[in-house]
Amino acid sequence: MDSLKMRKISILAVSLIVVSGAAIGANLPAIAQTFPEIPLPLVEMLTTIPALFIIPAVLLSTKIAKCIGYKKSVLLGLGIVLISGIIPAIVTNFAIIFISRACFGFGIGMFNSLLISIISYFYHGNERAAAIGFQSAFEGIGGMSLTFVVGQLLKINWQASFWVYLIVVPIFILFALIEQFNLLSFRKLEGRYE
């Protein structure tokens, strides 16, 4: 596979998990049964707390990317999503599960906004518009697909459904294989360097 096709597939693959935080929504009744001492609103926050932590991560992601590079920032975010995503599959402590969901959101925020910058770096004109459209479509496809897989894994038990986040492993590898790039010099050339 040529590097241009691999790059596009890698960016779109990362997009598959951007809206995956709410995929575990079907788990909430089973989680609430497992932790009857935890107030239901707190259990319900397991699907919303990731969105709250996306915000500070998005604000910090560009600064982090300037320090370590955009590619490494995306890989760092994917690593955080992978680890924090599967923690609930192996831990039975609600506080740790809650914290892992917050970390999950932070990981998503690490690469969420950077994907558009990366697309803008590699693609121009109509190709850029098409790539951004595909990226948005892949976000929706990812959210829908992961929700379906979570539902199937939920037949085993609620903890098994968190193994869905192992999908990040091939995505991480795929993105790690694309060539190194320097968005900072691109932004400087485009007159957008701060």
Q: What is the pLDDT of residues 102-136, one digit of tens each?
A: 999 999 999 998 999 899 888 889 999 999 999 99
Q: CA angle, 106 as apex, 183 and 87 as ends, to 5°?
A: 125
In a domain, 183, yes or no: no
Residue 120: which domain range? 45-178
Q: Please give the structure tokens belonging to residue 181.
A: 């790039």
Above pLDDT 70, what percent of the chain? 92
Checking if the pLDDT of 179 tops 90, the result is no
In Å, what is the CA distance from 128 to each residue of 59, 69, 78, 87?
Answer: 24, 21, 23, 36
| Reported confidence tier of residue 154, pLDDT bands at 50, 70, 90 | very high
In a domain, 93, yes or no: yes
In a domain, 128, yes or no: yes
Q: Please give the structure tokens belonging to residue 67.
A: 């320090």
Q: Please give the structure tokens belonging to residue 145.
A: 């697909």
Count: domains in the chain: 1
In a domain, 55, yes or no: yes
| Reported confidence tier of residue 3, pLDDT bands at 50, 70, 90 | confident
In a domain, 124, yes or no: yes
| Reported confidence tier of residue 1, pLDDT bands at 50, 70, 90 | low
In a domain, 22, yes or no: no
CATH number of the domain residue 98 falls in: 1.20.1250.20
User: Could you count the other beta carbons within 10 Å of the beta carbon of residue 9?
Assistant: 14
The pLDDT value given to residue 193: 40
Average per-residue pLDDT in the chain?
90
In a domain, 146, yes or no: yes
In a domain, 72, yes or no: yes
User: Could you count the other beta carbons within 10 Å of the beta carbon of residue 193?
Assistant: 12
| Reported confidence tier of residue 10, pLDDT bands at 50, 70, 90 | very high
